[in-house]
Amino acid sequence: MGWQPERDSWPGEAPGHDGDDAVPAVPSGFAHDGPWASARPSAALAAALEALAGPDDQYEGADTDARVGAARQWDAIESYAAARKLGALRSMTREDAEGAPVLRRRADLPEGWDDSLNYEVAGALAMGPVSAGNLAALAWALGTRLAGTGRLLAEGTVTLAKARLITQVFEPLSVSEAARAEALLLPELAGKNYFQVERLAWRAAVAVAPDVAERRRTAAERTRARVTVFREEAGTVGLSGRDLPAAQALSGHANVLARASWYETSGAFPGRSGSALQALAYLDLLNGVSAQERVAFARAAAVEPPDDGSGPGSAGGSDPAPAPSGESGPGGLGADDPEDDAPDLAEGADASDAPGAEGTPAGSPGGGSRQPALPEIAVPLVTLLCQAERPGDNRLLGALDPALARELAAAAARSPASRWEVTIVDQHGYAVGHGVARDRSRRRQPPSPGTGPPPGPPLRVNITVTEENLRRRPAAQPRPAAQPRPGDPPQPGAPATCLAANPRRIRR
């Protein structure tokens, strides 16, 4: 590390300090607000942490507060080491006249050796050349176009995984756009977990370049949409749908949650966790297994034969419960959550979506009249009307670029089961009014097959409008006959996802 303790130095002594201004002893120094607890990552900090750990990492003499501080600072050292490693990789490249990275060739390699940077890094770090190339590209990005994020990595504010995430989100942006997005993001990163960083990064990217986000999403849906099967660490199998269209994916995830909730209320799966029931519902929807069949099989498997050997009792032959309404059948797709702390509740779920009487789920035959919880999106009214490019929001996906928000609203308008709400917010973004829109278009006869766009997935669309914009809007005017209603086929030459202004009656 460049510094080793002398025989007369006390454990945890900072290099360059004498006895008069020495830092307090290691255990107390790592406690809350201690000097070591707030020290920047460095070789001196690593030496102090090693002294605190002692033989076999026993941390003798350190209380819980000091041990928590040590864990936090070890995490900072890990980020610091990652930044230094990337710096070493970055030093192997140089810029050309246009500022692009160029490999620094070596003349001392034997003839026939490939002297590319990827293979040098792959050999040094024992990884594949593709991974080595990605790591070298990350090193270059964090030292040039996203140097601020690179500094936060070296300071221990963000981890390598978060820095890589930010780089990936900002990849489609130009150099100037990336700089503007990074300036919006950096003050918000301290103390944020992975999912929070992801949402903040997307918000920043959408704020500076909403059209770039749309192009990237569209290209991914067309060329990268796929279903992958892979082996989990425990020996189980993972099944994942990736780069899917947002509307269908959100609706599929809601179907999985609704089926899993119905399984739970049936009482046929005692001891199964909510996540395990979601996995079971996911596979059943893909494989075409009905809810009745699954519940009947579970109840039959739980029945123990009587001692007289006369066969199963009447409990196993009970009638299966009815299936939940609105079930999409095979093909429902769940969301892929990369970490265990991802949200796993249905969008918009509240007390009104609780199971109905006698254990029958609300919204199913014999239960309550309410629909199952729908995936919810929040969209500014000015975005729907194409008067501004403000992002929407979804609890699972985070910020939605304006084009995606409009596409989701247009898809929801094609489903009679969608729910439309209006929230009025003040200048600070706090809700001051809320209502549910009455959609008269549902009373019309549905179009004949083949005459219009396919039905969209049911969604819960919350349209937000500021008090200021509400006051400035003119009084409601009759809709011109030439303007299409939401759900009508798009007219040639007209923006398909820009909804025409149509003030609706609000039921408080």
One-letter identity of residue 72: R
Return the higher-pLDDT residue of 122 and 170.
170
Helix (H, G, I), strand (E, B) or coil at 72: helix
Instruction: Please compute the mean of the pLDDT values over residues 180-191 and round it to a whole number.
Output: 95
CA 375, 378, 382, 386 dihedral sign is: negative
Say what the pLDDT of residue 301 is: 87
Q: Are 163 and 142 in contact (CB under 8 A)?
A: yes
Helix (H, G, I), strand (E, B) or coil at 94: strand
Round the CA-based radius of gyration of the chain to a whole number and report it.
29
Q: Are 205 and 173 in contact (CB under 8 A)?
A: yes
Instruction: Please state the length of the chain.
Output: 508
Q: How confident is the model at residue 285 (pLDDT cuts 50, 70, 90)?
A: very high
d(CA 290, CA 324): 10
Say what the pLDDT of residue 358 is: 35
pLDDT tens digit string along 308-337?
A: 554 444 444 444 444 444 344 333 333 334
* pLDDT surpasses 70 at 2: no
Those residues with Cβ within 8 angstroms of residue 444's Cβ, 6 or more apart along the chain or in another chain = none
Instruction: Please compute the mean of the pLDDT values over residues 196-206 and round it to a whole number.
Output: 92
Closest CA to 388 of 212, 246, 210, 214: 210
What percent of the chain lies above the pLDDT cut of 70? 66
Instruction: Please compute the mean of the pLDDT values over residues 175-192 and round it to a whole number.
Output: 95
Which residues, in sequence order, are bridge partners of residue 230? 238
- Give the mean pLDDT of the chain: 74
Q: How confident is the model at residue 90 (pLDDT cuts 50, 70, 90)?
A: confident
Give the global pTM. 0.59
Helix (H, G, I), strand (E, B) or coil at 57: helix
Which residues, in sequence order, are bridge partners of residue 237? 231
Q: How many CA atoms lie within 13 A of 272 on its CB side?
A: 19
Closest CA to 100 of 147, 144, 148, 166: 144
Return the higher-pLDDT residue of 456 and 409.
409
Say what the pLDDT of residue 78 is: 94
Q: Are 74 and 150 in contact (CB under 8 A)?
A: no
Helix (H, G, I), strand (E, B) or coil at 110: coil
Q: What is the DSSP letter of 145?
A: T
* pLDDT surpasses 70 at 371: no
Highest mean pLDDT among 263-277, 350-364, 366-380: 263-277
pLDDT tens digit string along 395-428?
A: 888 888 888 899 899 988 888 888 999 999 888 8
Instruction: Please compute the mean of the pLDDT values over residues 292-304 and round it to a whole number.
Output: 87
Instruction: Please compute the mean of the pLDDT values over residues 173-185 and round it to a whole number.
Output: 95
User: Three-state SS string across 240-290, please?
Assistant: EEECCCHHHHHHHHHHHHHHHHHHHHHCCCCCCCHHHHHHHHHHHHHHCCC
Closest CA to 384 of 367, 362, 400, 364: 400
Say what the pLDDT of residue 391 is: 86
| DSSP H or E segment with residue 154 | helix 147-154
d(CA 195, CA 140): 24
Q: How many CA atoms lie within 13 A of 81 on its CB side?
A: 10
Angle at CA 454, nearest 5°, toward 452 and 456?
125
Say what the pLDDT of residue 280 is: 95
Instruction: Please compute the mean of the pLDDT values over residues 356-365 and round it to a whole number.
Output: 38
Tokens of 240: 């994942």
Q: How many CB atoms lie within 10 A of CB 192?
A: 17
Say what the pLDDT of residue 454 is: 63
pLDDT tens digit string along 98-142?
A: 555 555 444 554 444 444 677 778 888 898 888 888 898 899 899
What dihedral angle (degrees, nearest 10) is formed by the CA atoms of 334, 340, 344, 347? -90
Q: How confident is the model at residue 279 (pLDDT cuts 50, 70, 90)?
A: very high
Helix, strand, coil in percent for the chain, rounding step 5: 40, 10, 50
Closest CA to 501 of 412, 380, 381: 381
Spacing of C-alpha 122 from chain mean position: 31
Spacing of C-alpha 275 from chain mean position: 17
Say what the pLDDT of residue 77 is: 94
What percent of the chain lies above the pLDDT cut of 90? 32
Say what the pLDDT of residue 324 is: 44
Helix (H, G, I), strand (E, B) or coil at 379: strand
d(CA 412, CA 191): 36
d(CA 157, CA 75): 9
Domain range list for the chain: 26-220, 244-305+316-359, 376-507
Say what the pLDDT of residue 173 is: 92
Say what the pLDDT of residue 159 is: 95
User: Three-state SS string across 492-507, please?
Assistant: CCCCCCCCCCCCCCEE
One-letter identity of residue 144: T
Which residues, in sequence order, are bridge partners of residue 462? 378, 421
Instruction: Please compute the mean of the pLDDT values over residues 434-457 and round it to a whole number.
Output: 62
Say what the pLDDT of residue 264 is: 93
What crossing angle do the helices spanning 402-413 and 246-266 adopt, rounded to 10°? Answer: 60
d(CA 164, CA 153): 10
